[in-house]
Homo-oligomer: A and B are copies of this chain.
């Protein structure tokens, strides 16, 4: 019997027929640790890129009202006009750019915004430049397409933190390069590109005919800009016809990580192409989710300010704690809400993350999850309240000193 049934009893036979690019995708190293520790008692979870606040009620209630009103039918593929208008107002107010709803395309997460931006620009065999270490999902989304991420190492020193060498970036350009992916402020490094760096990247893109996919989702989590300061943005240095696609999300500013709601900003001439890519990917976003987005944009400013201030204090509490341990290599990050640090004597960061779950009841994300250059680091998300950040810092520092 086994011999007869063999073709159907060997599960790997199914895997043998999976497209190699899909089979080769890395498991998210963050998800692996989260799955390991998700249900432990008393854990302080600092592994994911999210804070501890649920979505504010005024945002959730906008969705609830829409649902109760029966907005449960198919809707515009590009997003409902009211949300596109709200995004345009918000972005105009923030960056002093034109208030033009035709530039904005609602997506089912910032991740989907990246997926679609890459589907617009990359074919199988093409290359995308990614400064590394980096949040791994952009590279993985390129790999799903059959394109190749080419990593450009960030430089690091404890005074300057992480920085990007433009000569190194340009020297990585090949005839197959199509895209430069720039995340600033950056996850996990806290890197923030200066205006000079952004201009330099733009010059490289223009010289070589490349697209820039700009991930500025942490643009407001910038701690060097003074009151209400924004991190430098490509909006400040670009021309209208530059080949730039911005990817955005509601996740971070408005504590909406679980919602899966974002947008793409692009030249309106790309509208039909983007609409098609949305249509053939998820076919749009629930209208009731979009109503929540409008509430967030129109009425969320004090919440955003509160979150930024919390993150700044979280960063400072953590940095002060880490400085008391002589085992940690770090710089205080100017932006985003992660500390990406090395620990003397610890070389296997995946094992370290597991140990910290087991022994210190804190959840961190191993640097191995963030591509080349991340292997000797571990990431901690500090977008949390003061008491919990103090407790987490205490647990970490005690573990480090033990």
Q: Which residue from chain B places its CB closest to the CB of A270 in the assembled complex?
A: B14
B-contact bits for A270-296, CB 8 A (1 contact / 0 none): 101101110111111111110000000
B112 and A281 within 8 A (CB): yes
Per the CB 8 Å criterion, the residue count for chain A at the interface is: 89
Q: Which of A138-146, A180-188, A317-325, A353-361 contacts B (4 or more CB under 8 A)?
A: A138-146
B286 and A260 within 8 A (CB): yes
Query: When chains A and B are docked, how far (Å) is the Cα of A194 from the Cα of B224?
Result: 67
**Does any Cβ of B come within 8 Å of A258's Cβ?**
yes
**Does any Cβ of B come within 8 Å of A192's Cβ?**
no
Chain B min CB distance to A183 (Å): 16
Collect the chain B residues with CB atoms within 8 Å of residue A276's CB: 22, 25-28, 140
Collect the chain B residues with CB atoms within 8 Å of residue A119's CB: 19, 22, 144
Chain B min CB distance to A176 (Å): 13
A258 and B287 within 8 A (CB): yes
B258 and A18 within 8 A (CB): no
Q: For window 303-358 of chain A, which residues contact chain B by CB distance below 8 Å?
A: none
Most buried by B among A115, A270, A279: A279
Q: Which residue from chain B places its CB closest to the CB of A60 in the assembled complex?
A: B67
B17 and A209 within 8 A (CB): yes
Q: For window 205-241 of chain A, which residues contact chain B by CB distance below 8 Å?
A: 209, 211, 239-241
Collect the chain B residues with CB atoms within 8 Å of residue A72's CB: 54-55, 60, 255-259
B73 and A269 within 8 A (CB): no
Query: When chains A and B are docked, how far (Å) is the Cα of A145 from the Cα of B123?
Result: 8
Collect the chain B residues with CB atoms within 8 Å of residue A155's CB: none
Chain B min CB distance to A188 (Å): 16
Collect the chain B residues with CB atoms within 8 Å of residue A256's CB: 72
Q: A22-B276, A121-B19, A286-B260 are in contact. Are A111 and B281 (CB under 8 A)?
A: yes
Query: When chains A and B are docked, how far (Å) is the Cα of A71 from the Cα of B7?
Result: 44
**Does any Cβ of B come within 8 Å of A297's Cβ?**
no
B-contact bits for A25-67, CB 8 A (1 contact / 0 none): 1111001000000000000000010100011010010011001
Q: Which residue from chain B places its CB closest to the CB of A35 in the assembled complex?
A: B76
Collect the chain B residues with CB atoms within 8 Å of residue A255's CB: 72
Collect the chain B residues with CB atoms within 8 Å of residue A19's CB: 119-123, 178
Query: When chains A and B are docked, how far (Å) is the Cα of A376 from the Cα of B276?
Result: 24
Query: When chains A and B are docked, how far (Å) is the Cα of A255 from the Cα of B146?
Result: 36
B257 and A73 within 8 A (CB): yes
B-contact bits for A4-24, CB 8 A (1 contact / 0 none): 000111111111011111110
**Does any Cβ of B come within 8 Å of A68's Cβ?**
yes
B48 and A74 within 8 A (CB): yes
A282 and B54 within 8 A (CB): no
**Does any Cβ of B come within 8 Å of A75's Cβ?**
yes
**Does any Cβ of B come within 8 Å of A267's Cβ?**
yes
**Does any Cβ of B come within 8 Å of A124's Cβ?**
yes
Q: What are 5 A-B contacts defined by CB distance under 8 Å? A: A14-B270, A60-B72, A141-B280, A260-B285, A281-B281
* Contacts A73-B257, A140-B279 supplied; 6 other A-B pairs, CB < 8 Å: A14-B241, A15-B273, A109-B283, A111-B283, A124-B146, A260-B286
